[in-house]
Structure 1
Amino acid sequence: MDDRIRRHAEILVDHCTEITADDNVLIRAPTPAEDLVVALYERIGEVGARPSLSWSNSRAGRAYARAMDAEDFRLNDARLAAMEETDVVILIAGSTNAAETSDVAPEKSAASSRASGPILQERLDKRWVITQHPTPADAQQAEMSTEGWEQFVYDAINRDWDAQREFQANMVELLDPADEVRIVAGDDTDVTLSVDGMDAANDYAKQNLPGGEAFTSPVPDGVDGEVTFDMPVMRNGREVEGASLRFEDGEVVDHSAGKNEDVLTSILDTDDGARRVGELGIGMNRGIDEFSYNMLFDEKMGDTVHLALGKAIEECVPEDREFNESDTHVDMLVDMSEDSRIEVDGEVVQRNGTFRFEDGFESE
């Protein structure tokens, strides 16, 4: 077995989830990730924990969704029960066909998300991590060779996460006490987000592998302005290009897209919370320097900001603050590499992709 796969498994078990002998571990993976599953079972066995495996299959999921009526989607009680008995969840992505579910009607995808909401909530109460196993299909989507994609994935994963945590702490220290963040990029993005009373957090590969962002949850009614997401959004195998949103008092009041606008509409129509921002994330992983059409990597890029429509981040919302509830959480990216700035309480903390605590920062 490739030593990089064994290292991947070690990071998942030892760093991301800190599995112990007392843990029940649920692994959900596609069949192309079999080598990583085997490596995980080996490492979990060395720890003495108890793993269980749930294979995912996009072809089967497509067949089921196309056969269902949207109003017939309902909670899978068996999956919920399994999640309730789990201590640690490891979710692995990796496709044989990245567009397998592209002909599933968007309203069915939204209905499935609503039905699975209690399972998502239960999982978020566990120790969990999402990661990627490299496959040729995902390499093709990223417009890379198979070997190039593999190296890209492992370079992003096998990092000094202690050093990454310290670098990102600089941004967390700015965000945590802040009242307001403003994002300006080009002529089409100028949006302000109230973060008053919210907590900022540091993603150094505890729940996402790779990690690499500082993030918080905005006040639900505290987002105003316009934002154009100039990087594509992949949703259920369909690519949304040129997505644009206009916010008033926290809610999306107008939206458009240059391609697959119906997919964007279906996201917004998931529930009331899907029309509000649940997360503001600032990418800080300098080891990811190429757009790959894979949000797990793209949202961590150092020259990006992402807003997520839908469910807020629990660790960022104190008990005395309003929490944005939703059965979806969809990240969308803004390119901050040029003609852009991030302001925190009126002070520029990033300009054209360079943070003020990095060499090369231009204050004006």
Structure 2
Amino acid sequence: MDPRIREHAEIIANHSVDLQEGDNVVVDAHPVAEDLVVALHEVIGDVGANPVTTSQRTGKRSQRAYLRASDEDDFGTPAHELALIEETDVYIAIRASDNVTQTADVDPEISAAHQQAHSPILEERLSTRWCLTQYPAPANAQLAEMSTEGYENFVWDAVNKDWAEQRDHQANMVELMDPASEIRIKSGETTDVTMSIEGNPTLNDHGEHNLPGGEVFTAPQPGSVEGEVLFDMPLYHQGREITDVFLEFENGEVVSHSAAKNEGVLTEVLETDPGARRLGELGIGMNRDIDQFTYNMLFDEKMGDTVHMAVGRAYDDTVGEDNEQNDSAVHVDMIVDMSEDSLIEVDGDVVQRDGTFRFEDRFDG
């Protein structure tokens, strides 16, 4: 086994989820990630915790078969799956696929209904010590237009790193955003959006819940978002590529939307529930070791010189005690390239221009 896999497993256990003796652990992984699952079981055994492995991750033939055979009205929250998570202390999800478009021919309405039915399970998972990470499977390498070896190097360079150093770098941005009231994001002639973050904490993602980490993020006040955004980097959702997503916001809600490709999938996302038409997250990418777009949001949203926003659910920890939390069965991230002709303003002060932060030497205010 590649020693980087064991290192990956140890970072998950020791840094991301703080694995303890006696913990009940669910490892949720596609079978193609078996080497990382095996390494995790070695670490879990060393600690004296209790593992259970499931294969609920997307991209499997079985999931496609189930969804294509189901009707939209068939879905309810599966009590046995919820019960498993209710007894879980640590939940580790491993992304990997043997076919990243395996569910591309599933009706988007079916996928949305299935996701909505599983919303209580998502809520319960988020109450555990959880981590989402990536195993460098060949299908993911192909999607990233990289060789398998090249993608393995890319993934483990991004994952197996000094997370204390990354945390300290990102703390500079947290210091600027955490006490702030208003954020403005502007990029070219296509993106100019403002939002209030007053009273909502800004979190420093340094490889705990998401591995790799590399962003600072918060939640907008749901009714405060105004303006237009062109998400000029594509995304994969439900096995489909969506490109050039355009959203127009008024009083916090999407009032107009379009996409150059698979606009219907975007429409289904926005129609999932009322909260899906509002923003649940604003994130600033700060991991400069992630320097290549790979069609994988776990990495792409952390890229330096990017901003991402998510329609749908706001994370509990990003919402102040007295503030409204946006609720939804979905959380779909989309990315804006901030490398050229762009700026981020915090309470009217420019804190990033053309991808360079105010606290970096090359910043030109």
TM range (shorter): over 0.9
Counterparts of 1:1-364 in structure 2, within 5 Å, are 1-56=1-56, 58-363=60-365
Q: Distance in 1 between matches of 2:350 and 2:107?
A: 42
**Structure 2 counterpart of 1:298, which letter?**
D
Q: Distance in 1 between matches of 2:20 and 2:121?
A: 23
2:35 partner SS: helix
**Structure 1 counterpart of 2:135, which letter?**
H
1:109 partner SS: helix
- How far the C-alpha of 1:313 sits from its partner, in A, is 1.4
Q: Deviations over 1:158-211 (max 9, x none)?
A: 110000000000000111000000000011000001101111100001100000
**Structure 1 counterpart of 2:94, which letter?**
I
1:8 partner SS: helix
- How far the C-alpha of 1:138 sits from its partner, in A, is 0.4
Structure 2 length normalisation: TM-score?
A: 0.99
**Structure 1 counterpart of 2:48, which letter?**
G
Q: Distance in 2 between matches of 1:225 and 1:253?
A: 10
Q: Distance in 2 between matches of 1:313 and 1:349?
A: 24
Q: Deviations over 1:286-326 (max 9, x none)?
A: 11001000000000001100000000011111221101011
- How far the C-alpha of 1:55 sits from its partner, in A, is 2.0
Q: Distance in 1 between matches of 2:86 and 2:19?
A: 17
Q: Distance in 2 between matches of 1:273 and 1:115?
A: 15
Q: Distance in 2 between matches of 1:236 and 1:133?
A: 19
- How far the C-alpha of 1:74 sits from its partner, in A, is 1.3
Q: Distance in 2 between matches of 1:254 and 1:208?
A: 31
- How far the C-alpha of 1:359 sits from its partner, in A, is 1.8
Q: Distance in 1 between matches of 2:116 and 2:345?
A: 35
Q: Distance in 1 between matches of 2:242 and 2:82?
A: 31
Q: Deviations over 1:317-357 (max 9, x none)?
A: 12211010111100000000101000000000000101011
Q: Distance in 1 between matches of 2:272 and 2:15?
A: 34
Q: Distance in 2 between matches of 1:306 and 1:318?
A: 21
Structure 1 length normalisation: TM-score?
A: 0.99
Q: Distance in 2 between matches of 1:312 and 1:337?
A: 26
**Structure 2 counterpart of 1:10, which letter?**
E
**Structure 2 counterpart of 1:40, which letter?**
L
1:264 partner SS: helix
Matched-pair identity in %: 60
Which of structure 1's runs of 4+ aligned residues deviate more than 6 A? none
Total equivalences in the alignment:
363
**Structure 1 counterpart of 2:43, which letter?**
R
Q: Distance in 1 between matches of 2:55 and 2:243?
A: 31
Which consecutive unaligned segments of at least 5 residues does structure 1 have?
A: none
Q: Distance in 1 between matches of 2:142 and 2:225?
A: 36
- How far the C-alpha of 1:236 sits from its partner, in A, is 1.2
**Structure 2 counterpart of 1:106, which letter?**
P
Q: Distance in 1 between matches of 2:276 and 2:35?
A: 36
- How far the C-alpha of 1:238 sits from its partner, in A, is 0.2
Q: Distance in 2 between matches of 1:55 and 1:199?
A: 34
Which consecutive unaligned segments of at least 5 residues does structure 2 have?
A: none
1:332 partner SS: strand
Identify the range of structure 1 (53-62 vs 305-314) with the bigger mean alpha-carbon deviation: 53-62
- How far the C-alpha of 1:76 sits from its partner, in A, is 1.0
- How far the C-alpha of 1:22 sits from its partner, in A, is 2.5
2:55 partner SS: strand
- How far the C-alpha of 1:71 sits from its partner, in A, is 1.6
